[in-house]
Structure 1
Amino acid sequence: MADFDDLMEANRAFAANFDLGGFDGKAHAGVAIVTCMDSRIDPLAMLGLRHGDAKIFRNPGGRVTPQALEALVLGAHLLGVERVLVVPHTRCAMTMHSEAELREKIGAAAGVDASWQTFGVIDDQLTRLREDVQKVRSHPLIPASIKVGGFVYDVDSGLMTPVP
């Protein structure tokens, strides 16, 4: 496990001053965020939230996948979620390549055939965002009282733009 020594050392330092114990796991600000796994995104900080305020689901492209919907249903019924933000971002790698290009790149990097793998590329980010917002709004297990909004996060300015 030597490959993880730096991270384990950082974890021990984190645990030495750990003050988040006893947390109940609910979204205290009533917020859930579906966003991309991109490391340029700090979901809590970009909305002025803190640990414990929100449920966060991340995946490539910030798409509302079946797994994201599962998390949102649980959040809405068990974890205090009242508002959902779907937040893809500018300059996302999932918008810059076709499925064929990603299969080629990944296959070459892995040294194996990747023609069978799907990556969920996004051909039209704003259209897909609107579709994803509608998926949440129309899901039979997500109450109509849940507020759902779509936003694009700008990785260069830190600003979020609402998408009607």
Structure 2
Amino acid sequence: MSASTDATPPPGPFDDVFGANAAYIEEFSLGGLKPLAARGLALVTCMDSRIEPLDMLGLKPGDAKILRNAGARVTDDTLRTLVLAVYLLGVERVLVLPHTRCKMASVENDDVVHDLIMSEYGVDTRSLEFHTDNDQLGALKHDLERIRHHPLLPKGLPVAGAIYDVDSGKVTPAGL
């Protein structure tokens, strides 16, 4: 006897999110939204799931380009993306927004993370740079300067930094 081709597949690890999409498309209203940042903002923030970037800044879909990575660091890839966003996607200003209680700001350097992953999981991650720094304001200042002095970004591009408090929701400008 042959297996039926219309049999229901076994449950998978992504069924919850694909299933939720069915409800999402019932109320989907973003069709036709332009790919430009309507409010001219690029936001560099952390991938931390406690951060709701649109809500915390009074934005709506289409207002900003959101760039997320571990630690909200301005990496080479972040700079590449900002160049594209400025010249092709309507970005006129950049806000870099790390947050309190960030794992990437709680360790002294990348070696600590490499050692932890090796001891806990047996995986050698030394080929990667994690850009950890327990001086969060110092790292933010460094990252702002990387943007301000990047040769492919416009001189005078407004760039600011702030810290998001994951316990209160408050965004505090860093004044750097």
- Give the TM-score, by structure 1 length: 0.93
Q: Is 1:113 the counterpart of 2:124 in the alignment?
A: yes
1:47 is displaced (CA, Å) by 0.6
CA contact (8 A) 2:148 2:156 kept: no
Aligned residue for 1:33, secondary structure, equals strand
Q: Which runs of 5+ in 1 are unaligned?
A: none
Partner of 2:93: 83
**What displacement does 1:104 show?**
2.3
What code does the residue aligned with 1:163 have? A
How many residue pairs get aligned? The number is 164
For structure 2, list consecutive stretches of 5 or more residues without a partner in the other structure: 1-10
Give the 3 Å change call, closer, same or farther, for CA 109–142 of structure 1 in structure 2: same
Q: What residue is the counterpart of 1:42 in the other structure?
A: 52
Q: Secondary structure at the match of 1:149?
A: strand
Q: For residues 99-144 of structure 1, give each alpha carbon's deviation from its aligned partner in whole angstroms, at most 9, with x where no partner exists.
A: 2321122123323334444322113111110111111111111112
Contact 1:82–1:145 (CA<8 Å) still a contact in 2? no
Distance in 2 separating the partners of 1:114 and 1:68: 21
Q: CA RMSD in A?
A: 1.5
1:132 aligns with 2:136: no
User: Could you say what secondary structure the match of 1:150 adopts?
Assistant: strand
Q: 1:100 aligns with which of 111, 132, 137?
A: 111
1:156 aligned residue (145, 167, 170)? 167
Change (3 A) 1:113 1:70: closer
Equivalent in 24, 45, 62 of residue 34 of structure 2: 24
Larger Rg: 2
3-state SS of paired residue (1:49): coil
C-alpha contact (below 8 Å) 1:88/1:153 kept by paired residues: yes
Query: C-alpha distance in 2, partners of 1:75/1:121?
Result: 25
SS in 2 for 1:3: coil
Q: 1:117 to 1:72 in 2, by over 3 A?
A: closer
State percent identity of aligned pairs: 50
- Determine which of 132, 157, 167 is the counterpart of 1:146: 157
| Cα distance in 2 between the residues matched to 1:138 and 1:52 | 27
Higher share of residues assigned helix? 1
Contact conserved, 2:46 with 2:98, CA < 8 A, in 1?
yes
Would you say the 8 A contact 1:34–1:63 is kept in 2? yes
